[in-house]
Amino acid sequence: MEASDSSPSLPAEIQHPVFAYLGPNDLDAIGRAYRFSERAHAGQFRKGGAPYITHPLAVAEILASWRLDAQTLIAALLHDVVEDTGVGSEDVSESFGKPVAQLVDGVTKLDKIHFENKAQAQAENFRKMLLAMARDVRVILIKLADRLHNMRTLEGMRADKIHRIAQETLEIYAPIANRLGLNKVYQELEDIAFQHLHPNRYKVIEKAVKAARGNRREVVEKIKTSIETKLLDCRIGAQVYGREKHLFSIYRKMQEKHLAFSEVFDIYGFRIIVEDARDCYLTLGALHALFKPIPGKFKDYIAIPKPNGYQSLHTTLFGPFGAPVEVQIRTQEMHRIAEAGVASHWLYKIGETSLSEVQRRTHQWMQSLLDIQADSRDSVEFLEHIKVDLFPDEVYVFTPKGRIVALPRGATAVDFAYSVHTDIGNHCVGTKINSEFMPLSTPLRNGDRVEILTSESARPNPAWAHFALTGKARAHIRSALKNAHRHESVSLGEQLLEQATRALGSEAVGEAQWERYQKESGWSREDTLAEIGLGKKLAFVVARQLLARDQDNGTRPNAGPMPIRGTEGVAVRLGKCCRPIPGDPIIGQIKKDQGLIIHTHDCNQVRHYRDDPEKWVDVAWSSELDKLFDVGIKVIVANQRGVLAKVAAAIANEGSDIDNVHMEEEAGAFTSLYFTVSVQNRLHLARLMRALRGLPEVIRLQRMKSRSEERTGNIV
Q: Is 279 a catalytic residue?
A: no
Neighbours of 332 (CB within 10 A): 11
- Rounded CA separation 66/428 (Å): 44
Contacts of 523 (CB under 8 A, 6+ apart): 517, 531
Q: Per the residue annotation, which of 83, 94, 451, 630 is the catalytic one?
A: 83
- Rounded CA separation 85/79 (Å): 11
Residue 252 half-sphere exposure, CB side, CA atoms within 13 Å?
11
State how beta strands 698-704 and 629-638 pair: antiparallel
End-to-end CA distance of the chain: 87
3-class SS shares of the chain: helix, strand, coil, % to 5: 50, 15, 35
- Rounded CA separation 588/582 (Å): 14
- Rounded CA separation 715/501 (Å): 42
- Rounded CA separation 580/574 (Å): 7
Contacts of 221 (CB under 8 A, 6+ apart): none
State how beta strands 428-433 and 436-438 pair: antiparallel
Q: Angle formed by the axes of helices 357-374 and 379-390, to 10°?
A: 150
Which of 226, 308, 334, 207 is closest to 270 using CA atoms? 226
Q: Which helix (H) or strand (E) holds 26?
A: helix 24-40
Neighbours of 560 (CB within 10 A): 11
Q: Per the residue annotation, which of 5, 26, 38, 84 is the catalytic one?
A: 84
State how beta strands 562-564 and 572-574 pair: unpaired
Q: Which helix (H) or strand (E) holds 621?
A: strand 619-621
Q: Is 456 a catalytic residue?
A: no
Q: Which helix (H) or strand (E) holds 174?
A: helix 174-179
Contact (Cβ atoms closer than 8 angstroms) between residue 190 and residue 196:
no
Q: Could you list the active site residues?
A: 83-84
